[in-house]
Amino acid sequence: MKKTLKNGFVALSMLAILASCKKEGTLNANLDAIDQNIIKDKNATDIWLDQNFLTPYNIETKYRFDRFELPSGKNITPPAVDKVIPAMEMVRDVWIRPYEVVGGADFIKKISPKQFVLAGSAEYNSNGSITLGTAEGGRKIVLYVVNSFDKTNLASVKQMIQVIQHEYTHILNQTVDFSPEYQTVSRGGYEANWTQRPLSEAYSLGFITQYARVSPGEDFAEQSSNMLMMGRVQYNGIVASLPADAQIKLKKKEQYVVDYFKTAFNIDFYQLQTEVQKALFKISAPVLHKMIGLGIGYTTLTTNPSVDPSQSTEFLTTWNTSKTAVAAIGGAGRQLNNMQFIFGTGNLLTVRYNYTNSAGSVLQADADYTMVVNATTGVATITLNATQPTTTTYTNMNTLRPGVAAINTYLTSSTFRINWINQIIPGQIGFVGSLGAFYKSTNANSYIYGVMGN
């Protein structure tokens, strides 16, 4: 006890000496040079950020380089000032506004990060990966690679906004946690060393990306953010190309995400997904011929010319000729109901005829074609394969083939330009259920159109 008092006395004595020796003078340091975010005279970029983020949403955007906002020990380039507004325009239009449409004008105001920090380059990690974005405590999102951002390039926009969607999912999860049952879907598949595992393996285990394997929380954020940025067409196309077990897992995860947004925030996730896609389509309109194929996007086009309005005269005549011929085969009274294009991997096109036999049973008859599409023009050449499979649906085609000869001739005697039909039948393009068409290259008034699906 005495020792403690003695030391205390010495300490107090030293403080008294220090106080008596204090000298006052002007601090010779330029704090503005140390922290460039001390803004005295706002420039046009500052004013725009205030008007579009600070005032309406109470979100600060820091773009002047601040070493303390970024990880220490990493070489990170400051953002170029001319990239700031274009990047934040897309943050506003592709991330904020879809939430306002679906969740209400105040949704982002109530639940949002309060600060964006922009960095020009990526953060490079020791495992060979790069960090494109981080979220800290639900308050701050750091966006990297701003200097390579191009708001006219769809891939560039999707990369940046996907990072925000991912990090914002973490913020939402901090507000309302997702179901603990989610982690049971791909139990045993989580892998910290995810960079060493291929995407195909992640898919097979029911993960939408390799990074989703890090943890259940990262998995949920990757699932929701990728569904938003891919849209239903691309997401469904990928899922449809996977083995049955992987499909089941990804569909379960999809349902968990949809239920979470509805129960936690009363948000229709599919509507939110649609609004995000609409925003992306303003940057680059969806090109139909680049969206078809198993693992790519659309896997089917379904047409019923007998009832579909505005079907072209030439193809409707061809269809009716085939209906009459099918009904007359063997005097059996078969009824041709509708036709479907099924887009497989590579250049495979399966034409499926759904028909009813004389006993009233609904059957299918398939024929395989090779469809080669010019990647630039979207013009397709369709050729009937010389060798057909021998399963039941192809055997049924042996019976139906004479009746659908006119349709086969229509498909193989010309080339076709693949495109939307919204100029003839108004409607949204790029979504499940949108209308697509195969136009004859030699006659734009002759076409087959139908509902695009997967």
Are residues 207 and 304 part of one domain? no
Whether 317 is covered by a domain: the verdict is yes
Mean pLDDT across 142-147: 89
Are residues 138 and 240 part of one domain? yes
Q: Total domain count for the chain?
A: 2
How many whole angstroms separate alpha carbon 445 and alpha carbon 287? 20
Are residues 331 and 248 part of one domain? no
Are residues 163 and 96 part of one domain? yes
CA angle 186, 260, 114 (to 5 degrees): 110
Are residues 183 and 51 part of one domain? yes
Whether 411 is covered by a domain: the verdict is yes
Whether 54 is covered by a domain: the verdict is yes
How many whole angstroms separate alpha carbon 258 and alpha carbon 255? 5
CATH number, residue 113: 3.40.390.70
The per-residue pLDDT for 71 is: 64
DSSP-assigned states of every residue in 65-111? --GGGS-TT---PPPPHHHHHHHHHHIIIIIIHHHHHHH-TTHHHHS
Confidence of residue 408 (pLDDT cuts 50, 70, 90): very high
DSSP-assigned states of every residue in 166-222? HHHHHHHHHHSPPPGGGGGTTTT---S-GGGS-HHHHHHTT-SSSGGGS-HHHHHHH
Are residues 141 and 242 part of one domain? yes
Are residues 250 and 191 part of one domain? yes
Whether 149 is covered by a domain: the verdict is yes
- pLDDT exceeds 80 at position 133: no
**pLDDT tens readout for residues 4-20:** 333 443 343 333 433 44
**Which domain-ending residue is among 252, 284, 316?**
284
Whether 208 is covered by a domain: the verdict is yes
**Which domain-ending residue is among 259, 284, 309?**
284
Provide the 10 A C-beta neighbour count for residue 234.
20
Whether 16 is covered by a domain: the verdict is no
The helix (H) or strand (E) run that includes residue 343 is strand 335-343
Are residues 306 and 162 part of one domain? no
From residue 264, give the alpha-carbon distance in Å to each of 2, 178, 185, 390: 62, 9, 20, 51
**pLDDT tens readout for residues 248-294:** 999 999 999 999 999 999 999 999 999 999 999 999 999 999 999 99
How many whole angstroms separate alpha carbon 63 and alpha carbon 53? 13
Which domain, by its residues, includes 130? 42-284
**pLDDT tens readout for residues 339-372:** 999 999 989 999 999 999 988 899 999 999 999 9
Are residues 308 and 216 part of one domain? no
**pLDDT tens readout for residues 149-206:** 999 999 999 999 999 999 999 999 999 999 999 999 999 999 988 888 999 999 999 9
Whether 11 is covered by a domain: the verdict is no
Whether 12 is covered by a domain: the verdict is no
Q: What's the mean per-residue pLDDT of the chain?
A: 89
**Which domain-ending residue is among 254, 284, 314?**
284
Confidence of residue 451 (pLDDT cuts 50, 70, 90): very high
Are residues 351 and 270 part of one domain? no
* Residue of 41, 143, 55, 131 whose CA lies nearest to 91: 143
Confidence of residue 139 (pLDDT cuts 50, 70, 90): confident
Are residues 153 and 209 part of one domain? yes
Are residues 252 and 107 part of one domain? yes
The per-residue pLDDT for 294 is: 93
